[in-house]
Structure 1
Amino acid sequence: MTPVAARETILLVEDDDSIRTLMATVLQDQGYQVLAAGDGIQALQQLQLHKGPCHLLVTDVIMPRMKSTVLVEGVKVMQPGARILYMSGYAGETLEASGIHEDTPFLQKPFLPSTLIEKVQEILKSNE
């Protein structure tokens, strides 16, 4: 896959260090600027310090310290144009209980790096 021309910014929130590092590397290799955080509190702090737009939030549904829905609300306050992509290793009922609806952009873990890139590109293109 070829890197994207624009330097779109992605806020990546994943509590597993190794998964977060791998995902950040995959996204950076595609030309994205990545702000990586281990939980929602770190993510909102990074977003406050970030100069410029955040185009996409990629977040795990189940995280320590802050529910993903609360994180999304905070991101939307600071970056109203940001798109959202949820990911989780949990299935339907847990997602619904977390406030994630069927039509919400979502990646089921585990997924391939190519699947991540395809989904990110699809979401960012739908925002144009």
Structure 2
Amino acid sequence: MLDSLLWPSWIPPSSRQTVSRPQPIDLRAFLVETLTMLDRLIPETVRFEIDAAPGQSTPPHGNRESILVVEDDPTVRELTGELLDALGYQPICTGNGIEALDAIDTAEHRIHLVLSDVAMPDIGGIELAVELEQREPSIPVVLMSGYVPDPMGGGFSSNNLAAWLQKPFSVDALASTLAEVLSMNS
């Protein structure tokens, strides 16, 4: 019955193929594959250049401060690292809270700020902020998430939790948040 509805009447039944149901696709894998392909096609010179739009001021730039990025999504982690580099920071990128703690313990230079996703396997951003409050209370933590409501308004407190960014965030929001937090802790 479905075949007869999907094929025009002028195509003889002997020439019709069986119509199968659409198969679900893994959208995340498709997007990663597409972005990887585009990354290979776009020359290395075409990267982030942060300029102000007409009528707007340039976002604040860093002074090569070390920013530890903690993000479990490899694409978001890489793009955030490139964006931070373009904003004048030195990004150190890790994939989860355990890797972040290892990076802090083995860092050769001072880490000025931790920019962490909230929802991650093993140790999430909130647990990381609590652990850092015990181990390295001088390092401010900026949490970011597209799923979790702002913990700063929900009863969660940590002395080193400095700010919250809702994903997706703009370049201006990221730049101004980092500049503000770093200026308070310098």
TM-score, structure 2 normalization:
0.59
Is the deviation greater in 103-112 or in 58-67?
A: 103-112
Deviation of 1:87 after TM superposition, in Å, equals: 0.7
Letter in 2 for 1:53: R
Provide the C-alpha distance between the structure 2 equivalents of 1:114 and 1:16, rounded to a whole number of angstroms: 22
Partner residue of 1:17 out of 65, 68, 74: 74
State the match for 1:26 in structure 2.
83
Deviation at 1:104, TM superposition (A): 5.2
Q: Which residue of 1 aligns with 2:97?
A: 40
Give me the whole-angstrom Cα distance separating, in 1, the residues matched to 2:76 and 2:157: 22
Indicate the residue corresponding to 1:90 in structure 2: 147
Residue 178 of structure 2 corresponds to which residue in structure 1?
Answer: 120
Unaligned runs of 5+ in 2: 1-57
Aligned residues, how many?
124
Supply the distance in 2 between the matched residues of 1:118 and 1:38 (Cα, whole angstroms): 24
CA deviation profile, 1:105-124 (whole Å, cap 9, x unmatched): 10111112222111111111
Does 1:107 pair with 2:165? yes
Please say if residues 17 and 38 of structure 1, whose CA atoms lie closer than 8 Å, have aligned partners that are also in contact.
yes
Partner of 2:114: 57
The CA RMSD over aligned residues, in Å, is 2.4
Q: TM-score, normalised by structure 1?
A: 0.82
Once the two structures are superposed, what CA deviation does each residue of 1:19-56 show, in whole Å capped at 9, x if it has no partner? 11111111111221111111001111111111121111
Query: Larger strand proportion, structure 1 or 2?
Result: 1
Match of 1:86, SS? strand
Gaps of 5+ in 1: none
What percent of counterpart residues are identical? 32
Task: Give 1:73 deviation, angstroms.
Answer: 3.1
Higher relative contact order (CA 8 A, sep 6+): 1
Question: Which amino acid in 1 is paired with 2:116?
Answer: T
Q: Any conservation in 2 of the 1:10–1:56 contact (CA below 8 Å)?
A: yes
Preserved contact between residue 23 and residue 113 of structure 1 (Cα < 8 Å): no
